């Protein structure tokens, strides 16, 4: 690996590389960036004075590295989904705590808002959720009514514009494919454009948004809805263009001194 010079951009990766990290490494090298795969979250001294750092990796790794390299990690707010107009969610969603969700006696879909501390899924009622001994801090969760997504797409968004897209699931099963081969290409982009036009100020300048086609058998219709928003620096790229994914990742986890003023409110809290 090439050691970065003090004022050159470089990409830091975690000890274990997933498929997305490998693709991003290749893309970074093609544009002349140094790539550093660290054996642990400890940043070596030779990197601490470099000012062009970026990263891709999980929250624990990213949180430690970001502090040492003075990086700003961008992420959507925990309650972003609940603040969207109903026309973009098409389901009731509540931002609450795991403890409160345990009181529910109706079927529901439960997920953590950003970190994957709790397995997202359908629960028959609140009594089926994990007990307090596993989550003593009573973490925040999003609780929504259950819907069926026929197809799901990942949007890598840069400055409120779709930068690259991949399908990642059909009928609830992993099924990555480039957008250009998908029958819903035009409708995905139309829905995304309307969504981003309506909520640009409520998202970081670099972010991932998942959307999907919902089937409603009770009414016999189908419609598009937002699935969730995520941190670009910890999102699988699936079949999206890796060079364009890297553009979004570099902005989502880059030097704090380059951060746009409108993104100050989206910086990940230290240790969050």
**pLDDT by residue (tens digit) across 169-179?**
999 999 999 99
Q: How confident is the model at residue 132 (pLDDT cuts 50, 70, 90)?
A: low
Determine the Cα–Cα distance for residues 101 and 121; give it in Å rounded to an integer: 13
How many domains, the chain?
A: 1
121 falls within a domain: yes
Yes or no: say if 119 and 159 are a contact pair by the CB < 8 Å rule: no
Determine the Cα–Cα distance for residues 148 and 130; give it in Å rounded to an integer: 23
Q: What is the DSSP letter of 74?
A: B
125 falls within a domain: yes
62 falls within a domain: no
Q: Does 21 have pLDDT greater than 90?
A: yes
Task: Note the pLDDT of residue 101.
Answer: 84
pLDDT one-digit tens code per residue, 214-229: 987 766 689 999 999 9
Q: How confident is the model at residue 184 (pLDDT cuts 50, 70, 90)?
A: very high
Q: How distant is the alpha carbon of residue 200 from its chain centre?
A: 16
158 falls within a domain: no
Structure tokens at 230: 């995520």
Across the range 112-120, mean pLDDT stands at 76
Q: Does 137 have pLDDT greater than 70?
A: no
Task: Note the pLDDT of residue 139.
Answer: 83
100 falls within a domain: yes
Determine the Cα–Cα distance for residues 181 and 85; give it in Å rounded to an integer: 30
Mean per-residue pLDDT of the chain = 91
Across the range 72-87, mean pLDDT stands at 96
CB contact set of 137 (below 8 Å; sequence gap of 6+): none
Q: How confident is the model at residue 272 (pLDDT cuts 50, 70, 90)?
A: very low
80 falls within a domain: no
212 falls within a domain: no
104 falls within a domain: yes
Task: Note the pLDDT of residue 2.
Answer: 53
Q: How confident is the model at residue 130 (pLDDT cuts 50, 70, 90)?
A: confident
CB contact set of 219 (below 8 Å; sequence gap of 6+): none
List the domain range (segments joined by +) for residue 137: 92-144
Task: State percent of the chain over pLDDT 70.
Answer: 92
Task: Note the pLDDT of residue 125.
Answer: 84
* φ and ψ of 98, to 5 deg: -60, -35
Which residues is 55 bridged to in the sheet?
12
């Amino acid at each position: 690996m090439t050691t970065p010079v003090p004022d050159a951009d470089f990409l830091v990766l975690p000890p274990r590389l997933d498929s997305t990290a490998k693709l991003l490494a290749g893309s970074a090298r093609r544009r002349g960036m140094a790539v550093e795969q660290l054996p642990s979250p400890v940043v070596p001294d030779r990197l601490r004075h470099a000012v062009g750092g970026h990263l891709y990796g999980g929250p624990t790794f990213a949180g430690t590295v970001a502090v040492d390299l003075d990086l700003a990690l961008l992420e959507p707010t925990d309650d972003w989904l609940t603040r969207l107009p109903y026309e973009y969610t098409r389901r009731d969603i509540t931002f609450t705590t795991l403890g409160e969700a345990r009181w529910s006696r109706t079927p529901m879909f439960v997920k953590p808002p950003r970190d994957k501390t709790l397995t997202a899924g359908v629960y028959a009622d609140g009594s089926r959720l994990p007990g307090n001994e596993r989550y003593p801090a009573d973490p925040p969760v999003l609780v929504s009514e259950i819907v069926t997504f026929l197809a799901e797409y990942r949007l890598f968004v840069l400055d409120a514009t779709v930068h690259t897209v991949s399908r990642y699931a059909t009928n609830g099963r992993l099924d990555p494919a480039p957008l250009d081969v998908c029958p819903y290409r035009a409708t995905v982009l139309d829905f995304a454009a309307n969504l981003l036009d309506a909520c640009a100020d409520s998202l970081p300048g670099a972010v991932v948004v998942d959307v999907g086609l919902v089937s409603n058998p009770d009414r016999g219709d189908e419609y598009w809805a937002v699935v969730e928003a995520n941190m670009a620096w910890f999102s699988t790229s699936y079949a999206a263009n890796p060079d364009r994914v890297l553009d979004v990742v570099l902005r989502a986890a880059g030097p704090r001194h380059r951060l746009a003023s409108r993104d100050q409110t989206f910086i990940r809290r230290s240790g969050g």
